[in-house]
Structures are given as structure tokens and as C-alpha cells.
Structure 1
Amino acid sequence: MKKYLLEMNGISKEFTGVKALSDVNFKVEEGEIHCLIGENGAGKSTLMKVLSGVYPFGTYTGDIVFDGAVQQFNKISDSVNTGIAIIYQELALFPDLTVYENIFAGNEVKLGGFIDWNRTIVEAQKLLKKVKLDVNPDTLVRDLSVGKRQLVEIAKALSKDVKLLILDEPTAALNEDDSENLLELLKDLKKQGITCIMISHKLKEVIHIADKATVLRDGKTICTLDASKEEVSEGIIIKNMVGRSIEDIYPKRPNKSHGDTILELQNWSAYDPQLGRQVIKNVDLQVKRGEIVGIAGLMGSGRTELALSIFGNAKSYKLEGNLVWNDNLTTLKHTKDAIKAGIAYVTEDRKDDGLFLLQDIKSNISAANLGGISSKGIINDNEEIKVAERYHSSLHIKASSLEQMVGNLSGGNQQKVSIGKWLFVGPKLLILDEPTRGIDVGAKFEIYTVMNELIEQGLSIIMISSELGEVLGMSDRVYVMAQGEIKGELLVEDANQEKIMELATQ
């Protein structure tokens, strides 16, 4: 009979009167892959921060038992020294240092009080082989893809004789291939005796990899599902996560009629002077009024570059070809021109590029259209509140008040604020770049519902997504990109994941 490597018993944690965790029980057996799932704000990250010592002993109630002993972690190094390693979604690497320097940063290999660089490189090569990463240890981390950086983080954790490896949304920024490679690596590490906790919103990944899955909701333990008993299914997970069944994750639109063509790209190309190469090549694309056009492709295929070239050429590419907007040949030299024309872009990186995290909800929603709440250059505070209340209500943003800092909202509610910000400019075309990245299934359903409502109101949407289920579930037509080119156009009724991947890998 397997023993429990980790037991968290009766864990409760409060923040200024708000109970983030309430009597949570969480147990992980030795040598298993255990997924921790729940909606944004369910308490997953808070629980892991208690475990890692970010929230030290005494700031919570309950017991942590690790490897048979009660633990009192007062700082992060206490948990690390016990054999616990956490890899967060925002990777903690030094981009200007080499791979081997990153792997052993803070855990240097020494000889006689000095760093033994030769042995460091040798040990780094062993760890890279262990995580199946074929790169030169001398490579600077900044020159690696996101997927490879993730593997460097895991190698860094393994250098510390880790017993319990915790990954927070490890595939959120990865393409399909890198995600699959990472999941297979976790299975290999399991065979080597390493226990793993994985936080993920991607239910197919959970079903694919989990031995057990524990669901949190509103800071409480709802259940632990056991794959050996066939309990880990999408329907059961969703019901426990959101407290209700979502029969169809992708809500259907009753009206699928489309109007005239609103946007057309003809032989559209973009050259990036900084990279010294073409990022978009001879693209032909159309978007009709009241239509959701999906753009699929692997990371680096040119999807975001295409969006930015349409949105007023935000990256100052050298453009060739025609952009026809509402039947008029148009030149959009700046993002202001695109906004004025009626084009809005919700970035894939809401935290760095999309929102002001240290400002409140109302300030974020009004940020892209201050002229809409101003008179003679002076902002009308009452109008700003009215606008914010309108989108707070229509987008179902969950917050204590309009004055709540956006950085304190869950990922799903941050995304709704970002959408509200751009709806306030009154667009005719909304470009959504990875609209549900890093948010839970309940919040995804709400975002999809909002998208359908906007389409019913006559807006058009271009949706870029790495989740093929999302592309197929929400789009009317799908363009597939690879190497900056459109490799194919599919009606959604004729499309499937195999066809899309075949085109995406050409």
C-alpha cells in the first residue's frame, strides 16, 4: 500500500477578513501525478503558497505533514530543503545567463569554496538529458523558446534532489507539441519516483495525465477523484468545479447568418526590421459581419503578428498588400487609426500589455477611450463610473467594487475587464488573441457567451487560439497559419483537429 508523501490537514487562510482557504484537506500519495483543479479564485495558488513557505507557518491554521513529519515552513528555502520544488507560470529564470548557470543558480557546485564550472556543466548536461532537452548548456536562456525554458526550470528543480515537483499551469504558454512533450516527461519522472502536483485549467490534460485530481471551490475541498475508478472525466470535473453541469462548453448561437464582408486582406505581407525577416507572407483573408473567424496554428506561426499588422501596425512592420475595410482600400498607420476605424485588439498578454494592474476597474475600462468620458480635456468621473458599471454588469465581472485593483482579480475577470476596455471604443471588429488563456472552464463559458452576444449585436470577431477545441467550438470559419502563411481555410463543419494540425505542420 502506497504511503502519503504529503498531507495538508484542515488548512485555513484569511486575507483581511476574506477567507481564501477554509478547512482544506489535500493528500498526495508517493509516486503519483495529482492534479489540483478549480476555478480562478478557488484557492489553488494560495494552498501551494502555504505549502511552499511563501505564507509562513503561523499565518494559517492547520498542519502540513511531508514525508511522515509535521512541517513548519517559515520561508521558501525551508520547503526547498525538504524536497519540495514549485515551478510557477511566470518562469523564474535569468535570461542573460546560460542554461547551466540557471540550473544551478543558488545551488552552485563548489570545490574548495569556489564554483567548479567544469563539473557544473557536466552535471547540467546530465539533467538536460533527464528532461530530454537537447541544447548546448552554454546557450543563453533568452535564446530558448518558452517550451525549452520550461524544461530548464524542471532541470533546475531536479538539481535539488526534489521529492515533490509542483507545476502551476505548466502548459499555459506552450503549443500542442510542447505541451504533449511536457506531459510525457512528467510520466517519465513519475517512473523515476518523483511525485508531482500539477495545477491546470486544461481538462483534457488532467484526464490524460492524472492518477488523482482534487477539486477546490470557494476555498474548500470539494472532492478527490480517482482515475483508477474512472472518476476523472470532463463532465464530473466540471460539475464539481462550478457546482453545476455545463452540458456544452461552447454555447451555440441560434442565428448564424452573416452580413457583408467587413475586412479583407489581399496579398498581405509584413516584414519585421528588428528580426530581419518576413513574419507575414501573402495572406488573403476575409471577415464578414456577424462572424467569428478562428485563426489556428502553432506558436511562431505568425498569428499574433497578423493581428498586430491589422491593428494599426502596432509593431511598425513594413507592410505590403491591400487592407480593405468596409469596401474601402484603407491605410491604418497607427493604432489610433485602427481604433477610430472601429478595430479593437485584446492582447494575449493581459498582464503586461493589456491592463494596468495597479489601477482599478473603472480606470482600466475607460483607458482606451478617455475622450468618451471627457469634456474639454477633463475626465467626467460620474460618466466614468456609469461606463464601468455598464460593462461590470453586462460582462458579469466579479469584484467587490469598481475601485478594486485589477491585479487582485482572477484571470477570468481580468480578461472581462480587458474586453470591456475595448468594447467601450465601440468596435465593429474585435480581435481576440488567446481569449481564454489561463482561465478556468466556468470563466471560459462566460467569455464564450459574451462573444456570442457580441456577434448577435452585429460585431465581427477574429479569434486566435492555441486550443483546437476552442477554435472548432466557437468559429464559423478557420484559417490555419504556418510560417507566416495561410495554409488553408476551412468551414467549421468541414474541420477537425486532424485537418487543422496537418495544415499547421506544413
Structure 2
Amino acid sequence: MSEIFLRMENIHKKFPGVYALNGINLEVRKGEVHGLLGENGAGKSTLMKVLGGVHEQDEGKIYVEDNDCGFITPSKAAKLGIGFVHQELNLSEALTVAENVFMGRLPYKNKSLGIVNYKKLYSDTELILERLGINIKATDLVSDLETAKKQMVEIAKAISLNAKIIIFDEPTTSLSNKDVTSLFNVINHLKKQGVSAIYISHRLKEIFDICDRVTVLRDGTYIGSSQVKDISQDDLINMMVGRSLSNLFPKEVFPQGDVVLETEGLCDTTGRIKDISVKARKGEILGFAGLVGSGRTEVMRLIFGADKIGKGHVKINGKLVKLKSPEDAIRHGVCLLTEDRKKQGLSLVMSVNDNINITNLKSFLLNHKALRQTGEKFREALLIKTSNLDALAGTLSGGNQQKIVLAKWLNTNSEIFIFDEPTKGIDVGAKAEIYHIMNDLVRKGKVVIMISSELPELLGMSDRIYVMCEGKITGELNREEASQEKIMALATVGGAN
């Protein structure tokens, strides 16, 4: 365990106007899982791009197994045994597992005629899958696989390139608890075979569950490294954000008001969502818990008019409303901050200012001065970190992208704010800011509904929690009685009962 596989020393990288990396050090031992932590914009991705050959360092040295690597290119990184499992999977859905694993390196019987040796292709892939201990067939179509198994195909791709170290970038953002356990089993399996891992995650619990050591970056600088067993969660947070977040969940309790949103017997047209009856009141944050696939997001899509209601109805402020489209929902004061902000919440190729104003364009003749004033107002109010309002939304960190989505809806007359996984993929500092914004909304008499797979987040911020399982509401818990054990019982066996 003490033998060093990778050493990055005094790495510097500048971009126009930005000092992205300022003297970063990273040391990874053979057969260890090394956590890499820091807020969005701390330099984690840039450091990994230097390691993967996407960027060249301006200063500093990289050693692999004590050999000075100089500048690394992507092809050189592969030869050195550096593999990546990215947060956004890079697979061809129409091809088999084997064809994805050996894409660009298929074994041929006759290459000039394009005749692939499928027997060898499948047998080589099966050996890798067997090594990983995962239940996937080489002949399976990737499009037929669950997200967790697609991720295993990405790991198999890295192993097929004889990877000696694998970088996992936020690998669990789309996984259920069961799938996370399976992923950790594979990582531990590889660890026993001497394969190292760099594990990037904003979920601190995972760092303590899977990592041996951890390195923290902040604002492009190296803060420190430690054995995970020798450091506390509070210490890690302090290192990441430069201040203590003594209360991770700054919950404020307000007087309960009237029912603003009510559903009665709500069903979809597919039979997946069954008889949903819920109430949301002024003065509360209403949480929705459940495992991945329990139907939480689907219920919110019905309320937002994105999917067709099969049976049942929705009331807003005591009046029946017809929600046949998102336009209907917006007109009645409902907004939805989607789980996938990049694909459904933002236009990444549009500016920050255009994204903020896109929900409130009431005329073909645009008043650019007024639109800019609006953009500046929300930029200041939500502390959106951007060089200027003309910067493309896709260039900002996850936490700041989430704030742009929120600004877009605050720029309307919305009364009901539905947050679907509001802190997914953002750091602890940005999470605290999102929680404060939710408190402010409730203080102003708005209704906040929060879907989250993070049980501590639900318990920390919710006044009431509905639990779903298999498309049904299986329980309702108030703040005082809710616990992780009760929620998990209702989320797992509640549907069967």
C-alpha cells in the first residue's frame, strides 16, 4: 500500500484571466482509493484534465511509477494506464457491451474487408466482466442496460486498456443506494488487484465509505491531504470552504398557512402513478422521499403539466385547475427546477442573462437595458459567480448553474417552487446557499416542494415528508417523527404493504 503509483508536484495552469491551478500536489498509492474534494471551481476537473492530457501544465511535474512523464497527451495517458469513468457516460447505445468496451480496437479476422472476430471479441470481454465480478453479458445491447450497469461498461473499457489508475468523477449522481453498493464492491475488487482510484464526489459520506486517503483543493490551491480515518466531516468541510459550516442544514421554521397546492387521486396514463393525494401549505418545505424509480419525479411532471394526467385533479388555492401543458402550470404559478439542469433547465449555449430572462419575455420588441438590469438584480441577489452576464451558462459551475435556473423562475410570478434533486452535483458551500434561498422563499409565503435522494437533506430541511414506493404514497411523516429508518422502511416495503 505504501508504494506510490502517481505523483503530481507543484502543478500550475493558467487560462486567460484565471489562475486555475496554483501549485497543486497529489500523491496516489498503488491499490488505494484516493478522494479528491473541493467546491465547484476548486480545480479538481482541471487537474484531472492535466492528468488525462486534455490540458498541458504550465509548471510542475507528473510522475507515474517514479518515471517523469513530462507533458501528457490523451494517447500517452492511456499507455500509462490512466483511465476515466466520467459522470456523463460516453457509450454507443446501439452497440453491444463488447463493441463498446473495445471500440476502435476491435479484433479482426480480415481488417481490409472489415470482418470482425466476434468470438475473440466476446471472449475477451467476458474475461474482463468476470474480473470485475459484474453480471453483464458481452452480447447485451447497451441500450437495454440500467444506468448502473452502463457505468460498469465504462469501467470495463478502462480495464480493457490495462488501466492501473481509474478516475471516478461523481460516479453515483444517477445511482440508487443499491447500485452505489454494487459500484463500491467493484472498486474494492479492483483495489485488491492493485488498481488505484481517484474518487471525486460532493457526497462526503461516500468519501468515508470508500476512500483510504483524501486531498482537498480550494480556489486552485492545494489545502492538504489526510488519512480518511484521521479526519472528521467538519474538518473536511472547513478545508473545502475555508470556514466552518456548523449547521449543514440551516432550517428555519415558519407558521403554517393555508393549503396552496392539493392533488386528489392523481394518476398518469401509463398506470405507473397511482392515486396520489397530497397537500402543500404556505410556510413549509414539503419533502418527497423514495428510491430511484419510485415515481417522485413523475408526480411532479404531472403537476407541472409536462405529462398527461390520466385520473384525478389538481387544486391551487382551493380551485380546480387544468394543467395540460407547462404553460398552464406556469400561468397558475407553478415552476419546476428539473433534476437534469443541463438538459432540461438551461440552454448551455446561451448567456447567463438570456437564461435568466427567458421565462419573462412578453414582447417581440426587447428592452435590452431592462433585461440587463433584471439579470444584474438576480446575479447580485443569488450571488451568481460569473465573470459577466454575457458568459455562457455552460461555462459556470454546477452550483451557479442551479442558481441561474432558480433566477429564471424567480423572474416569474411563481407561488409553488418544485425542486427536483436541488443539490445534485454541487459542493457543500453552494448547497448551504441553496438551502438559504429555500428558506427565503418560504419566508415570503411561497410553497417549496423538494425531491431528494439525500436522506440527511430531507430530514434537515423538510417540515413534512411524503414517502413513495412503486408509484404510490406509502407514508407521511412530520419533522419530529421522521428518521432515516422510518423513511427507508416506507420506501422499500411500503409499496408491498
How far apart in 2 are the matches of 1:345 and 1:251? 23
Contact 1:51–1:79 (8 Å) recurs in 2: yes
| 1:331-376 Cα deviation digits (max 9, x unpaired) | 11111111111000011111111111111111101111112xx4xx
Aligned match of 2:101 in 103, 107, 122?
103
Contact 1:107–1:160 (8 Å) recurs in 2: no
Residue identity in the other structure for 1:280? I
Contact 1:73–1:79 (8 Å) recurs in 2: no
How far apart in 2 are the matches of 1:10 and 1:363? 39
Contact 1:365–1:418 (8 Å) recurs in 2: yes
Q: Find the counterpart in structure 1 of residue 367 from structure 2.
A: 380
Alignment of 1:91-490 (within 5 A): 91-110=89-108, 113=111, 115-228=116-229, 230-231=230-231, 233-253=232-252, 255-271=253-269, 277-312=270-305, 314-315=306-307, 317-371=308-362, 374=363, 377-490=364-477
How far apart in 1 are the matches of 2:273 and 2:400? 32
Residue identity in the other structure for 1:331? K
Gaps of 5+ in 2: none
Residue identity in the other structure for 2:454? E
| 1:79-129 Cα deviation digits (max 9, x unpaired) | 011111011111111111111111111232345655321122122223223
Residue identity in the other structure for 1:290? G
The answer on 1:55 being equivalent to 2:55 is yes
Contact 2:51–2:72 (8 Å) recurs in 1: no
Contact 1:52–1:73 (8 Å) recurs in 2: no
How far apart in 1 are the matches of 2:265 and 2:421? 25
* Pairwise CA distance, 1:399: 1.2
How far apart in 2 are the matches of 1:175 and 1:471? 16
How far apart in 1 are the matches of 2:153 and 2:484? 30
How far apart in 2 are the matches of 1:418 and 1:362? 11
How far apart in 2 are the matches of 1:143 and 1:461? 36
* Pairwise CA distance, 1:239: 0.2
TM norm structure 2: 0.96
How far apart in 2 are the matches of 1:138 and 1:73? 38
Residue identity in the other structure for 1:281? K
Greater CA drift, 110-119 or 470-479 = 110-119
Secondary structure, counterpart of 1:493 in structure 2: coil
Contact 1:168–1:198 (8 Å) recurs in 2: yes
- After superposition, the Cα gap between the structure-2 partners of 1:426 and 1:130, relative to the gap in structure 1 and judged at 3 Å, is farther
How far apart in 2 are the matches of 1:318 and 1:491? 28
Gaps of 5+ in 1: 272-276
RMSD: 1.4
Q: Find the counterpart in structure 2 of residue 274 from structure 1.
A: none
* Pairwise CA distance, 1:469: 1.0
Greater CA drift, 290-299 or 180-189 = 180-189
The answer on 1:79 being equivalent to 2:66 is no
Contact 2:4–2:28 (8 Å) recurs in 1: yes
How far apart in 1 are the matches of 2:95 and 2:153? 12
How far apart in 2 are the matches of 1:77 and 1:498? 48
How far apart in 1 are the matches of 2:133 and 2:338? 32
Alignment of 1:23-38 (within 5 A): 23-38=23-38
Q: Find the counterpart in structure 2 of residue 3 from structure 1.
A: 3
* Pairwise CA distance, 1:66: 0.5
Contact 2:50–2:72 (8 Å) recurs in 1: no
How far apart in 1 are the matches of 2:224 and 2:411? 41
Q: Find the counterpart in structure 2 of residue 491 from structure 1.
A: 478
Secondary structure, counterpart of 1:179 in structure 2: helix
Secondary structure, counterpart of 1:490 in structure 2: strand
How far apart in 2 are the matches of 1:125 and 1:318? 45
Q: Find the counterpart in structure 2 of residue 70 from structure 1.
A: 68
- After superposition, the Cα gap between the structure-2 partners of 1:499 and 1:109, relative to the gap in structure 1 and judged at 3 Å, is farther
How far apart in 2 are the matches of 1:131 and 1:278? 37
How far apart in 1 are the matches of 2:406 and 2:420? 11
Secondary structure, counterpart of 1:107 in structure 2: coil
* Pairwise CA distance, 1:136: 3.1
Q: Find the counterpart in structure 2 of residue 45 from structure 1.
A: 45
How far apart in 1 are the matches of 2:322 and 2:38? 45
- Percent sequence identity is 44
Secondary structure, counterpart of 2:90 in structure 1: coil
How far apart in 2 are the matches of 1:399 and 1:55? 22
Secondary structure, counterpart of 2:121 in structure 1: helix
* Pairwise CA distance, 1:164: 0.5
